[in-house]
Structure formats: structure tokens, C-alpha cells
Amino acid sequence: MPLPPPRERSGFRHPVDDLLVDLLTVYNDIDRFAKFTAERIRQELDRRPAPFAVAVVAAVVAGALLSWLLLALALAVGAVLSVGLRRYRSLRARAGCVPVRVLPGGRLQVLLIRSRKHPESYIFPAGGVEPGESPAQAAARETVEEAGVTGSLGRSLGEVVDAKSRTVVYALHVDAELERWQEDWRPREWFDLGVPGSPGAKQAASRVQRALLPKPVVQETYRRLEAAAAELAKEGEQAEQRVRNAGTPPTSRDSSRRRAKKAS
């Protein structure tokens, strides 16, 4: 009996959803083939001489057995994936940002905040996705609340999954630093990453890694930042150019860039 099509789900769609739909399609195709096979056997037994009919029936039965074997394999794979998907959906949905800025000369910097539970270490701003929010909206909101910065969202750095949560991470090209924000009791600090691809970038990266909380989701987020550093630096320079071309009045970004230049 054919299975009904899956109901549409709102929100984030995981790639496994598409694979399960494909498996369901295979099942329904094989179900139709089985009915066709039974009808074909009946017709051949009625129309053909006995020896020929037996040969045709044997070939059709062999094909049907192979199809059912493939069906069993597909259903087994689908069951395993279904368990994994249910486990994935039970994880807490989170989103966060990697706030970055580009200084003159192409030096990339990243903004980190102190961890609540481990104040000796730094983390990236992130938190839970509220009902009705998209991951991008949640990432921007959490970054304002925890780090006190705003800007334009850049590329997605993907989803980081651990035992308790799944966190969608975006780059944020900072254009303003607030003087007061919701969690301003948590220190924030800019860390220099150097010019991506330069010899000094490796030394800068090691300093940042030592400052980060040794939690898998934090370390994996930094690994993705490091891998995309060159592209993020280009994106930041393009964002700066768009602001200049638009003739936007100076913001706190300008003053923060001047402070960063003096500190360096």
C-alpha cells in the first residue's frame, strides 16, 4: 500500500528530510512495480504456452525479488536516518555571530566576550532561537544583547552541533559599538587575527585559541572563522566601500577603528 507524502514542516529544513522523502518515493515506486508484476504474471500465464510462460514468470519474479531486496535496504537506511533526525530535532536550536572588522592594511579582528560560567575564557556571542525567529534574526539579537555591537550579517559559517544543541553561526561585519547594552557587565575584547595568509596570522591565531573556552562548539566555530578569514576580510572591505559610497555619516565604527589603530 502506498505511503502518504510527508507533511510540510515550518522552520529549518535539514538535508536528511529530503533524503527521507526520496526513500518514500522509492517505496511507492516499488509498490507500484509489485502490482504491475502480479498483473504481468497473470497475463503471461493466460496468453503464452507453458514453457515460455514459465521463463517469463521466472524473470519477472527475479526482478521483483531484487526490487523487494532494495526496498528492505532502503527502509533500513531510512529507519537509521529517521532516528538520527529525531535526535537532531530534539537538540536546542541556537544561533550566534562571529563579530569581525577589517583595519587598514587588511588586518582582521574578531570580537569575543567573557564566558558566564568560565570568566577566565572567551566565547562567541550566541543563544537560543526564540519562537517566530529565524536563525539570522536570533544571531543578530543575541549579539546585540551579549556583545553590544551591530552591523551587517555576512556569510553563514554553517551549523555547529554538539551533544546538547545545534548552533547556526554567521559572520557579523561590525559597524557600531554600543556604550551600554543588556549584558555590559561581561567584558568584550577585540582580538587581532593579522592579515589572512600572512606569517603573523598564525601567531595571532594561536593567541586567540589560547583565550577561547576549550568547549567543542567554541573551538569548532573558531576553526570555521580561521578557514574563512580571507573571504571575511574581503567582505569587510566591500562593506566599508559600500558605506563610503553611500555617504553614510561616521558611526561609532569609525571611532573604534581609530582606537584599534592607536592600540596597534
Catalytic residues: 145
d(CA 123, CA 114): 6
CA distance 13 to 242: 33
Phi-psi map region of 215: left, alpha, beta (phi>0 left; psi -120 to 50 alpha): beta
91: three-class secondary structure by DSSP: coil
The CA–CA distances, whole Å, from 43 to 38, 47, 125, 209 equal 9, 6, 69, 72
How far apart are the C-alpha atoms of 254 and 242, rounded to whole Å? 14
Which residues, 6 or more positions from 19, have their beta carbon under 8 angstroms from its beta carbon?
81
Spatial contact of 80 and 88, defined as CB atoms under 8 Å apart: no
